[in-house]
Structure 1
Amino acid sequence: MAGYSTTEMKEVLERLNDWERDIDPLAPLTSLQKESIEELMSIVAFRLLPSEVNSERISPLEPEYELQKERNNSEVMCLNSALVNFQVEETVETSQQFLSLVDNIEERILKDDDEAMKLYIDQLCTSNMECSSLLDEITTSLEELESLQKLYIFVSDKTNTLHEACEQLLTDQATLVNCAEVIKEKLSYFNELETLSQKLNSPTLSVVSESFVPMLARLDDCIAYLKANPQYKESETYLARFKRLLAQALGMIQSYVMANLQQTTQQILARKDTLSPNDNAFTLLYGKFRARGPRIRALMEQIEERVEKNSEYQQLLEDCHQCYFTQRELLLGPGVSTAITNLAEKHQRDHCALMRSGCAFLVHLSEDEHQLYQHFFSRPSQELNTFLERLCQRLYDVLRTIIIHVNHLETLTELCTILKVEMLEEFVQNDPKQLEAFANVAQQMLEDVQERLAYRTHIYIRTDILNYHPAPGDLAYPEKLEMMQNIAESLAQKPLSRSSSRSSLGSTTSAPACVSRESKNREESIAVMSVSASEQVMETTMSQSASELNPSVPVKGRTVLYSPADLHGMWYPTVRRTLVCLSKLYRCLEKTIFQGLSQEVLSMCIQSLVSASQSIAKNKTSLDAHLFLIKHLLILREQISPFQIDFVIKETVLDFSRIKSAAFGLLHKKSKLFSLNSNNALLEFLLEGTPQVMENLVDSKKAVDNQLKIICEEFIANTVEMLIGQLLIFLNKAKVILEVGEKEATRQVVLKNQPWASPEKVSELVNEAYKHLKNKLPNLANSMSLYLANRDTEHILFRPIRNRVQSAFEQLLQLVRTNYSEDEQLIIGCPSTDQISLLLSSAIIR
């Protein structure tokens, strides 16, 4: 490697390394060659150089020599096998021969390598010359290509510049075209002024022509555009001109519509005066208007669609509405007034018929007017309801003067029923939109009738219920009950047909009217009229009349006995009037108003019953008075139960009791009237003397129950006193004596020594009390059966009476046993508890 520089040496080493690189080697070896090289390398690793070999110095006896010898032999064998690959025919026996052979081989190899390299160098030189020539040609070509590329770039730049200029010109052209179109479009709104002005001023233009509506739409577009773009020059001037054109167009529409409506009205009025009775007024009043409707409706639809865009359209629509309703009122007003006046004259004595026919007339009129309105306009208007209310108000004006003079509750309730049920609930609910105006007037009339009804009810309650003066027949108890019972028993003995039973029932029901001698037609009508809430109960009672007349008629699986007092015709007149009044008011008045009136009428009815019972007690007995009051209170409580309302009302009152206390305090503190501290008497009076607002809940049903409870307790106490009054007096006296005797420890001696407590006197008292009880019990049972005719009620009332009577006899028996000897007890002969219980039980078993 001598003669090479360091750089060249590195290049040579790098090239040699490239021969055996792992990736893309320059001189790749086969697998066989690689194996051969590995074998040679393994052998060479243990080969001794010739200079290091000295066979004379190696002793054959040494182990190392033997080892080395074996190693050399193996190497020789390996070399022989390797020499075979190099086609060496000589045989190597010693190391010296091997080394000589290797030297020869190396020389041969080097010689062969040099020849090949020389040939390769020659080829490289030739190739180098050819490459240099080719490189020169390539350089020349590249220079020419570079010159050509410069020319291409120059031409390309020029072409691109031209294209860009063309594109910019096209863009500018498109922008200018768009600007021209936008300017043209914007100018079109301004240019339309002249065109539209000429069309509107044309003498042949008509609002019903086909070109009028598009012209109106174009006017709206121009006005809207100018309003949206006030920044344009002269936009305000053009906007004002367009608005004048729009006002001119709308004036043409208004003139056309008003002229048609007024012309139609004049034609109808001219013909209306000559209208014969055989002609149809409906055709005259509605036919001609409907004929003019389609053309006007087409214009009104255009106006109604533009109402929200411009206030001028709204004003035009209102003017058209006003003209339309003015013309309609001019036609219908006198006719409606005349019709209502004729109805009032026709039904002068029948207010209900007047109300019904007048309301029916207005209902049909409202429906016809709504239908006619829809022939001219498509959108609803509040002015239509105002117009119809003015027409309906004519009936209200006539009926109000009549309503405020009606005194009969029947008429007022019937008027309420007509307005509330027939008109508002039936007609108005079926068509609430068309009858809205009529509903408002009907509701106003209903409120007036209800106000009048409430006022007349207050008067009726005081005059006919509270201040009712009963006739002798009204207080003929128990005579008329016994009379009715005898009639029922006589009718029950012979079978009756259904028709005869009904006729008997009618006569029975009307009998109390004769007995009570009520001559007023109004009271007679109240007695027989049907009721609403209590009507079902009354009708049930009426349907059970056959059972009432025949005591053996089975009802719901058992035999029930009815009292003649259960017939509503036998009720005390104030009870009957109260229930009928409540039934009528229940359908007609509001809930809150009815609650207040019901509380008042029930209170007045109870007072009238108490007054009647007091009169009966004076003329007959307290037993009849109590049973009369108990029976009617039971009827009253039963009949008000079907009313599905709460009879509780709230009363607000002022409590002035604090004013009295504060006034006394002020008098006692005169010295502190003008005191400047917190003890100022005048200030305390103002603060403490303020009336206090108190709210009280009044329950009518509880009032009836409380009154019933009070009268039942009085009945029980009076009945016990009637049955065993003397016995109770004796027990009270004995109790006093015994209490005194207990203090003096002379208990038995004191009671016997009393003249009224001797055994003979006590025996006489016991016999009389037992006989009196035995005689009175049947009468008591008959009276209770006659008035109440209800075993459950009778048992409930008789139970405390029986308990008190038994308790009294038990006290007597205990008193006799503890204060008298056996012989004296035999003289007295006091009945046992079982005897008294048997006597009381047998009295109520029927």
Structure 2
Amino acid sequence: MKFTDSLTNLFSESKTENSVNNTNNTNNNNNANKDLPLQLSMEQPIESTQQFFSWFSKIEEDMEKGQEDIYRHFLNTLKIYKETCDLILTEIDNTTNLLDKLDTNYQFVENKTKTLKQACESLVAEQNHLSDIANALNKKLSYFTEVDSISQLFNNNDENVCLKQQFIPALNKLDKCLEFLKNNSDFKDVDMHIMRYRHCLAKGMSIIKTYFVNEMMNVLVDVRKEILPTDEPDPNKLKLYVYDRFHQESSQLQILIREIEDRCTIYQEFIEDINSCYDAYFSVRRQLLTPVIINHIQSLSNPPSLLVVARKGCYYMIKLFIDEYKLFFEIFDSGEEEFKNYLKSLASNLYDYIRPMIIHENRIDTLSELCRVLLSNLTEVNTISHRKKEDYELKLSFLVINNILKDAQQRLAFRAQSFIKQDIEGFKISDKDLIGFLRISESVRKANLQQQKLQKQDASLKRLISETQINTHNKNSEDYDLGKVIYGGGEWYPTLQRTLYILTKLYHVINQNVFEDIAEEAIEQCRLSLVEVANQIYRLKTKVDSQLFLVKNLLLFRERIAPFDAEFIHKEALDVDINTIKDVALGILNNPESILSVLLGKTVPNISSPSSNMDARQLNVLNKLILSLLRFLLIK
């Protein structure tokens, strides 16, 4: 930059100097021209030739000099330019030397800078490495020093220390420290530090347990102040104090209880803490709900009705159990087995109330209906929504109903066996009553035949004949009604009707194996009673009448008990027309078993136990009947 400035100044001075010189030369020429007349007009006259030549020489010299000044001036200018150029070259050389020296210094500084940079980077890397080592050391050392600050927090006398924000993070720190110490068992004094941390963690779990138990007791005291055990159950108060109060506390309690539950799978000693929480919760809930449940059950029916109490009581308990289930799992995430035992203790209130009623109930209809009601509650309980586990409500209903259902089924089975013993096996009919029964049975059969004929006629004629038939039957209404009441409508023998009655009441309400045993006993006693009556008819009338009575009742009985293998459906009595046997008697000599298809008009289905035991006996009776009919036809 300095060199450029000096060069610029040099050129400026040169130009200025040239301008000045030119101006001076012009002025000198003008002055010479002005002086020439002066010189020519000298005051001294020329007196001699020598003076003239001297004067002329001088004049000539002056003229030549005036003509050569421009060249001299130009020459001087060139000299000045030359000197200026030399000066510039000198400056350029100096500048070049300076630049070379500057470049050398720059390279030196650059090399030094690179060296310094590398040294700094190395130092920074070493510093970072040392910092990482220091942080790692501090981090590992923190696993050994956290116990002091956490112990100070846990040893605080504040009962609500577990509600502080730093409490749960402190527990998490303990878990991390214990995990680190277990993974680095080769460190010095690891066992001692593990023992200290385990003790501190146990202290934290004990703080949560103590807080939970105290909170449950406080809630119990507060609720008892509002609801006395002797008060009438008010649904609004029950919802407000028995459930809403617990729902309000559940969010905070759930956070704390989850800390114990998560550690129970790792540390077995904490199971005792969570069990203490279960016991406190169930104890408080039991004390609050037991008086309410008892009061509600006692108010279900006045006077007490077994079916009403069972139906309403089971529904109430199932709904209560579902509410308890939702409330329990808002606080706890485990303890299903303990919760199940708690529900059993609540269900015992209903069971203890109903069980004496079941024991003293002798009506088979009521016991059978009770079993159906209890079983329907097991199948229909899924209509109520639940929190999780699709089949858990069925489990809850099973807790309520299981014991009651077992007692009801046992009582029903006992009463059924007594009924079979007294009303089927112990039923005896006199000859007079048997003749009346046969007369009524024949009257009913004719009435059925007449009714079938009337169905083929027009509606008006059928109505007329029906009215006539009704009037005809009214004449013998006293005998007919008596037989209908005593002997089951006149067509079914009483033991047969009673057997079907008891099977109907037992089917699908007791255990299948128990049903099969009782059914087999009832069917066998019914068959023996039919055989006994057939022998009695044989004494009073003929052998054919005896065999026809036995075949008819056995066929009716077989048809009626067949649906018990699937679903019991009460069908109309099957009519057996003896005239049909007369028309085809000659065609069944070679195949006696075909009499079943003839009498029933269809193939008789295979019937499994217990009715299958009658097949051999029934076939034997039919064979005897066929032989008797053939003899009768041959004689005719």
Same fold (TM over 0.5): yes
The answer to whether residue 506 in structure 2 is matched with residue 585 in structure 1 is: yes
2:436 to 476, 494, 499: 476
Contact 1:477 1:624 in 2 (8 A): no
Distance in 1, Cα, partners of 2:478 & 2:364: 21
C-alpha contact (below 8 Å) 2:355/2:404 kept by paired residues: yes
Which residue number in structure 2 is paired with residue 181 of structure 1? 135
Whole-angstrom distance in 2 between the partners of 1:426 and 1:511:
47
Cα 1:233–1:571 shift into 2, 3 Å: same
Normalized against structure 1, the TM-score is what?
A: 0.49
1:637 is matched with which residue? Answer: 558
Where 2:361 maps in the other structure, the secondary structure is coil
Q: Deviations over 1:605-633 (max 9, x none)?
A: 11111112222223333332221111111
The aligned residue for residue 147 of structure 1 is none
Map 1:284-433 to 2 at 5 A.
284-343=241-300, 346=302, 348=304, 350-379=305-334, 381-420=336-375, 422-427=376-381, 432-433=391-392
Please name the residue that 1:16 is paired with.
none
Instruction: Report the Cα offset of residue 587 of structure 1.
Output: 1.2
Distance 2:477 2:414 in 1: 31
Q: Does 1:200 align with 2:154?
A: yes
Given that 2:535 and 2:546 are in contact with CA atoms closer than 8 Å, whether structure 1 keeps it comes out as yes
Residue 378 of structure 1: CA displacement?
A: 3.5
Measure how far apart 1:314 and its partner are.
3.3
Q: Are the equivalent residues in 2 in contact too, given 1:591–1:645 (CA < 8 A)?
A: no
Match of 1:594 among 491, 512, 515: 515
Amino acid at match of 2:140: K
> 1:496-507 maps to which residues of 2 (within 5 A)?
496=463
1:565-580 correspondence to structure 2 within 5 Å: 570-580=491-501
CA contact 1:509–1:569 (8 Å) conserved in 2 = no
Equivalents in 1 of 2:467, 2:401: separation in Å? Answer: 46
Alpha-carbon separation, structure 2, partners of 1:513 and 1:165: 126
More helix by share: 2
- CA, structure 1 residues 622+347, in 2 after alignment: closer, same or farther (shift >3 Å)? farther
Question: After superposition, where does 1:691-710 map in structure 2 within 5 Å?
Answer: 699-710=609-620
Taking structure 1 as reference, are residues 463 and 221 closer, same or farther at Cα in structure 2, changes over 3 Å only? same
Does the 8 A contact of 2:343 with 2:399 survive in 1?
Answer: no
Residues 276/597 of structure 1: CA separation in 2 closer, same or farther (3 Å cut): closer
| 1:654-693 alpha-carbon deviations (Å, 9 max, x no partner) | xxxxxxxxxxxxxxxxxxxxxxxxxxxxxxxxxxxxxxxx
Could you tell me whether the CA contact under 8 Å between 2:208 and 2:257 is conserved in 1? no
In structure 1, distance between residues paired with 2:426 and 2:270: 68
Alignment CA distance shift 1:485-1:167 (3 Å): closer
Higher RCO (C-alpha under 8 Å, 6+ residues apart): 2
1:532-585 CA-partner distances (Å, limit 9, x unpaired): xxxxxxxxxxxxxxxxxxxxxxxxxxxxxxxxxxxx763111111112222222
Distance 1:455 1:202, change over 3 A: closer
SS at match of 2:507: helix
Compared with structure 1, are the counterparts of its residues 489 and 598 closer, same or farther at alpha carbon in structure 2 (3 Å cutoff)? closer
Q: Residues of 1 paired with 2:208 and 2:261: CA distance?
A: 13
Residue 276 to residue 706, structure 1, CA distance change in 2 (3 Å)? closer
Q: Is the Cα–Cα contact under 8 Å of residues 572 and 632 in structure 1 kept in the other structure? A: yes
Judge conservation of contact 2:425–2:529 (CA < 8 Å) in 1: yes
- Separation (CA, whole Å) in 2 of partners of 1:462 and 1:191: 84
Once the two structures are TM-superposed, the CA of residue 386 in structure 1 deviates from its matched residue by 0.7
CA apart distance, 1:373: 1.1
2:593 aligns with: none
Aligned residues: 461
Cα 1:490/1:311, change in 2 over 3 Å: closer
* In 2: Cα distance, 1:183 partner to 1:621 partner: 115
Q: CA deviation at 1:330?
A: 1.3
Once the two structures are superposed, residues 385-418 of structure 1 have per-residue CA deviations (whole angstroms, 9 ceiling, x without a partner) of 1100111122223333333333332222212212
Q: Report the 3-state secondary structure (helix = DSSP H, G, I; strand = E; otherwise coil) of the residue aligned with 2:187.
A: coil
Structure-2 change in CA distance of 1:338 and 1:278 (3 Å): closer
Structure 1 pair 231–712 and aligned structure 2 pair: CA distance change class (3 A):
same
Q: Once the 2 structures are TM-superposed, how far is the Cα of residue 300 of structure 1 from its aligned partner?
A: 2.0
**Do the aligned partners of residues 183 and 217 (structure 1) sit closer, same or farther apart at CA in structure 2, a change above 3 Å counting?**
same
CA gap of 1:477–1:720, structure 2 versus 1, over 3 A, is farther
Deviations 1:766-798 (A, max 9, x none): xxx6xxx2xxxxxxxxxxxxxxxxxxxxxxxxx
Contact 1:409 1:456 in 2 (8 A): yes
Identity of aligned residues (%): 28
CA contact (8 A) 2:347 2:399 kept: no
Equivalent pair of 2:371/2:409 in contact (CA under 8 Å): yes
Contact 2:425 2:525 in 1 (8 A): yes
> Aligned equivalents of 2:401 and 2:206: distance in 1?
40
Q: Distance in 2 between matches of 1:357 and 1:168?
A: 86
Residue type of the partner of 1:282?
L
**2:144 match:** 190
Q: What value does the CA root-mean-square deviation take over the aligned residues?
A: 3.8
Shift, 1:443, TM fit: 2.6
Q: Structure 1 residues 511, 265: CA separation in 2 closer, same or farther (over 3 Å shift)? A: farther
Partners of 1:265 and 1:357 in 2: how far apart? Answer: 28
The residue identity in structure 1 corresponding to 2:615 is D
2:166 is aligned to 211
Q: 1:700 to 1:296 in 2, by over 3 A?
A: closer
Residues 1:627 and 1:451: Cα distance change in structure 2 (over 3 Å): same
Q: Do the aligned partners of 1:363 and 1:435 also contact (CA within 8 Å) in 2? A: no
Q: Which runs of 5+ in 2 are unaligned?
A: 1-117, 385-389, 568-607
Change (3 A) 1:380 1:426: farther
8 Å CA contact 1:250–1:316 kept in 2: the answer is yes
Q: Which residue of 2 aligns with 1:718?
A: 628
Q: Distance in 2 between matches of 1:347 and 1:237?
A: 71
Distance 1:404 1:486, change over 3 A: same
The question of 1:461 aligning with 2:420 is answered: yes
Change (3 A) 1:604 1:322: same
* Contact 1:571–1:632 (CA under 8 A) maintained in structure 2: yes
Structure 1: which 5+ residue stretches go unaligned? Answer: 1-163, 528-567, 647-697, 725-768, 774-846
Shift of 1:446: 2.3
The TM-score, its normalising length taken from structure 2, stands at 0.64
Alignment pair present for 1:222 and 2:174 = no
Q: How far does the alpha carbon of each residue in 1:299-334 deviate from its partner, in whole angstroms, 9 at most, with x for none?
A: 223333333233344332222111101111111123
Alignment of 1:275-286 (within 5 A): 275=231, 280-283=236-239, 284-286=241-243
Deviation at 1:218, TM superposition (A): 1.1
Cα distance in 2 for residues equivalent to 1:484 and 1:329: 63
SS of aligned partner of 2:264: coil
- The alpha-carbon distance between structure 1 residues 362 and 462, as it changes in their structure 2 partners (threshold 3 A), is same
- CA positional deviation for 1:468: 1.0
Contact 2:220 2:284 in 1 (8 A): yes
Q: Which residue of 2 aligns with 1:676?
A: none
Find the residue that maps to 2:463 and give its secondary structure: coil
